[in-house]
Structure 1
Amino acid sequence: MNFLNGITLLLVYQLVGEVTVRLLDVPIPGPVLGMVMLFVTLLIRGQAPESVDQASSALLSHLSLLFVPAGVGMMVHFDRIAEEWVPITLALLLSTIITMVATALIMQLTSRWLVGARQGKEPDGD
């Protein structure tokens, strides 16, 4: 029953995200907004409820199954992918590089902020 409560809560957050996106015409996927809302809720609470922890652990243990539809889509549209491999490759490479650079910069800023907070100082802006 704990798992069922957790998965229901996760799906409710996804539904709230979908409804919010459609009502406000926000250019963000509904599940992403729902996940942000769930994250904010968990930050406020300070911990995840046992039911959400159990449901998310079960979903993560079967994560590889969620890639099956993507693999089938690749096979179905293989001809189109073969025709447009250059832009696809460039998009993948550029997005990977941009993500890595952004992650490194955020990590550096966060590290400086945490070190400054531990020393009782305000973080500097450089």
Structure 2
Amino acid sequence: MPMLRGFLVLVLFFILGESVRVLFALPVSGGVLGMLFITFTLMAKGSVSESLASASQGLVSVLVLLIMPGVVGVFFTADQFAGQWLAVAAALLVGTFLSVLTTLLLMKLVTGRTESTGGERDHG
């Protein structure tokens, strides 16, 4: 039952993101907006519920299946990118580099906070 509650929370944030996208005619995916909303909500709350963590772990285990439709779509429209291989390759390389760099900086930020708060608890 907790996993079902977690999925419900995820779906509600997805619906919220889609609603905001449609209401304000934003050129951003409702899923991305929903992720932003849930991120800010969890940051304000300061913790993740057990049900949400359980549902999220279930989704991470099938992440490849969630990505597959996009990959298949690119496969069938590859002829449209035939003349733009350099731009696509550059976008992939720059995008990958920026993703790795952002992940590195966020991990340094998060682990720096964890180490500093953990050190204060040990001395206190």
CA distance in 2, matches of 1:60, 1:100: 19
Aligned to 1:95: 95
Aligned to 1:63: 63
Gaps of 5+ in 2: 118-124
CA distance in 1, matches of 2:58, 2:106: 30
2:11 match: secondary structure: helix
Aligned to 1:72: 72
Aligned to 1:37: 37
The Cα shift of 1:67 comes to 2.4
Residue-pair matches, total: 117
Aligned to 1:46: 46
Q: Specify the code of the residue in structure 1 equivalent to 2:79.
A: D
Question: Percent same amino acid at aligned positions?
Answer: 33
Q: Specify the code of the residue in structure 1 equivalent to 2:93.
A: L
The Cα shift of 1:10 comes to 0.2
The Cα shift of 1:99 comes to 4.5
The Cα shift of 1:78 comes to 2.8
Larger radius of gyration: 1
Whichever structure has more helix as a proportion of its residues is: 2
Aligned to 2:121: none
2:86 paired with 1:86: yes
2:14 paired with 1:10: no
Gaps of 5+ in 1: 119-126
Aligned to 1:121: none
Q: In the superposition, relative to structure 1, how do residues 31 and 79 fare at CA in structure 2: closer, same or farther (>3 Å)?
A: same
Q: In the superposition, relative to structure 1, how do residues 16 and 64 fare at CA in structure 2: closer, same or farther (>3 Å)?
A: same
